Amino acid sequence: MLSIKSPTHNPFFNIAAEEYLLKRFSEDVFFTYRNSPSVIVGKHQNTMGEIDFVYTQKNGIEVVRRMSGGGAVYHDYGNVNFTFIRNGKQGALVDFKGFTKPIIEMLGTLGVKAKFEGNNSLTVNGLKVSGNAEHVYKQRVMHHGTLLFQTDLSALANVLYVRDDRFISERAVKSVRASTANLSDFLPNGMQIEEFALYLFEYISKTNDATEYFFSSEDLLEIERLVNEKYGKWEWNYGYSPFYSLKREIQLQNKIIKLEVHVEKGIISFFKMEGELPSSFKKSIEAVLEGTPHSIIPIQKSLKNAKLDPQLVDVLTSELF
Q: What is the rounded radius of gyration, in angstroms, for the C-alpha atoms of the chain?
A: 22
What is residue 135's predicted lDDT score, i.e. its pLDDT? 97
- Work out the angle between the directed axes of helices 296-305 and 310-319 (0-180°, nearest 10): 140
Helical segments of 125-262, H only? 153-160, 193-207, 217-226, 234-237
What is the edge-to-edge ordering of all strands in the sheet holding 38-41? 62-65, 38-41, 73-75
What is residue 308's predicted lDDT score, i.e. its pLDDT? 82
Q: Which pLDDT tens digit goes with each residue over 55-66?
A: 999 999 999 999
Three-state secondary structure call for residue 5 = strand
What is residue 276's predicted lDDT score, i.e. its pLDDT? 86
Q: Examine the pLDDT at 45 and tell me if it is beyond 80.
A: yes
What is residue 310's predicted lDDT score, i.e. its pLDDT? 86
Q: Which pLDDT tens digit goes with each residue over 167-203?
A: 888 777 777 667 899 999 998 777 999 999 999 999 9
Q: How far apart are CA 190 and CA 181, in angstroms?
A: 17
Q: How far apart are CA 170 and CA 150, in angstroms?
A: 35
pLDDT (average), residues 97-107: 97
| pLDDT grade for 151, boundaries at 50, 70 and 90 | very high
pLDDT (average), residues 109-123: 94
- Average pLDDT value over all residues in the chain: 93
What is residue 306's predicted lDDT score, i.e. its pLDDT? 82
211-212 and 79-87 beta bridge pairing: unpaired
What is residue 168's predicted lDDT score, i.e. its pLDDT? 81
Q: Examine the pLDDT at 164 and tell me if it is beyond 70.
A: no
Which candidate, 19, 22, 29, places its Cα nearest to that of 211?
29
Q: Which pLDDT tens digit goes with each residue over 69-82?
A: 999 999 999 999 99
Q: Which pLDDT tens digit goes with each residue over 79-94?
A: 999 999 999 988 889 9
| Share above pLDDT 70 across residues of the chain, in percent, rounded to a whole number | 98
Q: How far apart are CA 230 and CA 16, in angstroms?
A: 8
pLDDT (average), residues 211-224: 98
Q: Examine the pLDDT at 126 and tell me if it is beyond 80.
A: yes
The structural domains of the chain, ordered by start, are 2-237 (3.30.930.10), 244-319 (3.30.390.50)
Compute the Cα dihedral for 159, 160, 166, 171 and give only its sign.
positive
What is residue 188's predicted lDDT score, i.e. its pLDDT? 73
Q: Examine the pLDDT at 22 and tell me if it is beyond 70.
A: yes
Q: Examine the pLDDT at 157 and tell me if it is beyond 70.
A: yes
